[in-house]
Amino acid sequence: MNTFNQFGLSEETLEAVRLKGFEEPTPIQHKVIPALLKGGRDIIGQAQTGTGKTAAFALPLIEKLNEESEHVRALILAPTRELALQISDEINSLKGRKKLDIIPVYGGQSIDVQLRRLKKGVDIVVGTPGRIMDHLRRKTLKLQHLDYLILDEADEMLNMGFIEDIEFIMGHTPQEKRTLLFSATMPAPIRDIAKKYMQNTLTLKVDSENLTTDLTQQIYFEVSEGDKFEALCQMIDIEDDFYGLVFCRTKNDVDTVTSRLIERGYDAEGLHGDITQALRQKIFGRFKKKHISVLVATDVAARGLDVQDLSHVVNYSLPQGPEAYVHRIGRTGRAGKEGTAVTFVTPAEYRKLGFIQKISKAEIKKGQLPKVEDIIERKKNTLFEELDTLIREGEWQDYRGFAMGLLGDHSPEEVVCALLKHAYQDEFDPAKYRQISAPLAKKGKTKLFVAMGKKSGLGKRELISLIEKKSGVKSSEINNLEMYDDYSFISVHFRAAEAILKAFAGDTKRKRPLIEMASGKNKEGQKKAGFKKYYKKKK
């Protein structure tokens, strides 16, 4: 199935899908939508964040639920209020003209408002476990007529300590219902819940490898926090036709970056959770039609946005984890078109970038920010091309009289130079730009795991000498060597770490590199893995 049309969805639902800009189903949508429409079995969907899970269960729900029911027919549990709001917004945007009432229920929102809405009657409740439990205890939420129970990001709810809450809620639902469980991983407690509460289960899995694209070039820039905005502007300036999403961590960051971009003259707008759905759709519509070229957004606000031909995705703020990174960069390099994913990294974040790179299996290469003279040259070339087009197309005739007046007292060269100075003095003046330098290496340290310890027969001095010889990193840059029987740890600044990791990544003598980024799993997990001695003790 290459289109949504082949799932057997109604024309009303397909129209809503088209208005959202969805063109081709994601792998999890391929599997879940027909299975849920078919009916009968409970479903486990194993897929990471950013795979289109919400639409995978929302579209069949919209199709199968009757309008204006007197009872709650579907309950969707989410780990956070941000995700609950996002799911609620997504279903509302996909329901089209169908009369379904969907409400988000979460802590922090007035419970009186929720009570009034629940009393009027709703079809779908999207909520966090804690607040759903409150309503069940108050008997203000009744689930005896429930047809669908959906657990979204179940492993995240496990991590947040919601397992007992989930079991309490599931105990208040009727036995005759369909249960859907979505999770990126399947730890034992999640499997136990599935075994205890789900029947005739169908497991549908999407491997993480399906989430990335070879059409996306992934690079990172080393910048200090204070240089990020200037780096963003210079990156936009050096590109021929920038059309991209810029991700920020907070709503305040979105507002700040957007306003500063507009002040600089860029066509930019921002999206975050405080913006109404109507304005959100209006802004996205302008972006999709390319009336604006830069859209600044938080992760939650960008959920559900589907654009096929982005040139860039920029991680202005480092994403929370590998899944969020994959979700973000998956928005470029689509439909056979190449794209670029750019990540700004401060010295303190380099270790986190290494973790993201390792788990997401992404090849993120170090990039070099453009030089000031290159930016100015790019702007001059762009102006030359635009003027050449105007001249060839004759779109200058209305200014002939004015031009002749200027030329009456001055030479053509003088007039052109004066006009350029008047209109482009700031853009072509090197003094108006600031050359961004990479932050001082000493500001950021990272820890590396070495799969070799005392049992290898090497002492601390010999191990440091080995690393120095293979990577070119000076011994004075290698600090805090901790040596145990089977493994060791070293601390280095992140540029040195990059050189060391690169040097040992190409080693073909072992299945895994001798040196890797340190993580929580290294200390015991690597020990249990039984690494073979890399160098035998000399006789």
- Domain match, 322 and 276 both: yes
* Cα end-to-end span (Å), the chain: 64
- Domain match, 88 and 237 both: no
How buried is 51 (Cβ within 10 angstroms: 0-12 exposed, 13-18 middle, 19+ buried)? buried
| Strand ranges across the sheet with 124-127 | 102-105, 124-127, 74-77, 148-151, 178-183, 43-46, 202-205
Residue 365 — very low, low, confident or very high, per pLDDT cuts 50/70/90? Answer: confident
Does 534 map to a domain? no
Taking residues 97-101, report their average pLDDT: 90
Q: Which of 227, 233, 231, 270 is nearest to 252 (CA)?
A: 270
pLDDT for 457 equals 83
Average pLDDT, the chain: 82
3-state DSSP assignment of residue 262: helix
Does 286 map to a domain? yes
Instruction: Provide the pairing of β-strand 102-105 with 124-127.
Output: parallel
pLDDT for 148 equals 96
- Domain match, 420 and 293 both: no
**pLDDT higher at 201 or 336:** 201
- Domain match, 149 and 291 both: no
pLDDT for 323 equals 65
- Domain match, 205 and 216 both: no
pLDDT for 332 equals 73
Does 536 map to a domain? no
Is residue 192 within 8 Å of 164, Cβ to Cβ? no
Output DSSP code: residue 523: I
| Tokens read off for 54 | 């919400």
Strands (E) across 298-385 are located at: 312-315, 339-345, 365-366
- Domain match, 41 and 185 both: yes
pLDDT for 305 equals 66
Look up the CATH number of the domain holding residue 447.
Answer: 3.30.70.330
| H helix or E strand, kind and range, residue 199 | none
Which residues have CB under 8 Å from 176's CB, separation 6+?
none
The boundaries of the domain holding residue 480 are 441-528
Cα distance between residue 93 and residue 195, in whole Å: 34
Phi (first) and psi of residue 366, to 5 degrees: -70, 135
Does 535 map to a domain? no
Does 108 map to a domain? yes
Taking residues 489-499, report their average pLDDT: 81
Which residues have CB under 8 Å from 523's CB, separation 6+?
449, 487
Q: Evaluate if residue 378 carries a pLDDT over 80.
A: no
Distances (CA, A) of 432 to 417, 425, 426, 437: 19, 9, 6, 16
pLDDT digits (tens, 9 = 90+) for 187-224: 888 899 999 999 899 999 886 544 445 567 899 998 88
Which of 322, 341, 369 terminates a domain? The answer is: 369
- Domain match, 172 and 265 both: no
- Domain match, 251 and 297 both: yes
Q: Evaluate if residue 521 carries a pLDDT over 90.
A: no
- Domain match, 18 and 163 both: yes
Taking residues 102-117, report their average pLDDT: 89
Is residue 316 within 8 Å of 246, Cβ to Cβ? yes
- Domain match, 54 and 103 both: yes
Which residues have CB under 8 Å from 223's CB, separation 6+?
231, 344, 345, 346, 369, 436, 438, 439
Does 236 map to a domain? yes
Q: Taking the CB of residue 428, how many other CB atoms lie within 10 A of it?
A: 15
pLDDT for 440 equals 46
pLDDT for 539 equals 33
Report which listed range, 117-126, 389-398, 476-485, is most confident. Answer: 117-126
**pLDDT higher at 432 or 243:** 243
- Among 58-72, 310-324, 499-513, 516-530, the minimum mean pLDDT is found in 516-530
Does 298 map to a domain? yes
| Tokens read off for 271 | 């999206």
pLDDT for 441 equals 44
β-strand partners of 345? 222
pLDDT digits (tens, 9 = 90+) for 4-20: 888 989 999 998 888 77
pLDDT digits (tens, 9 = 90+) for 117-138: 999 889 999 999 999 999 999 9
| Helix ranges restricted to H, 342-371 | 350-360
Which of 209, 225, 255 terminates a domain? The answer is: 209
Phi (first) and psi of residue 128, to 5 degrees: -90, 150
Sign of the dihedral defined by the CA atoms of residues 153, 180, 131, 72, in that order: positive
Taking residues 280-301, report their average pLDDT: 87
| Tokens read off for 6 | 């082949």
Taking residues 154-167, report their average pLDDT: 86
Taking residues 73-92, report their average pLDDT: 88
Residue 167 — very low, low, confident or very high, per pLDDT cuts 50/70/90? Answer: very high
- Domain match, 361 and 401 both: no
- One-letter amino acid of 344: F
What's the whole-model pTM score? 0.49
**Length of the chain as a residue count:** 539
Number of domains in the chain: 4
Look up the CATH number of the domain holding residue 278.
Answer: 3.40.50.300
Does 305 map to a domain? yes
- Domain match, 45 and 173 both: yes
Percent of all residues in the chain with a pLDDT value above 90, rounded to a whole number: 29
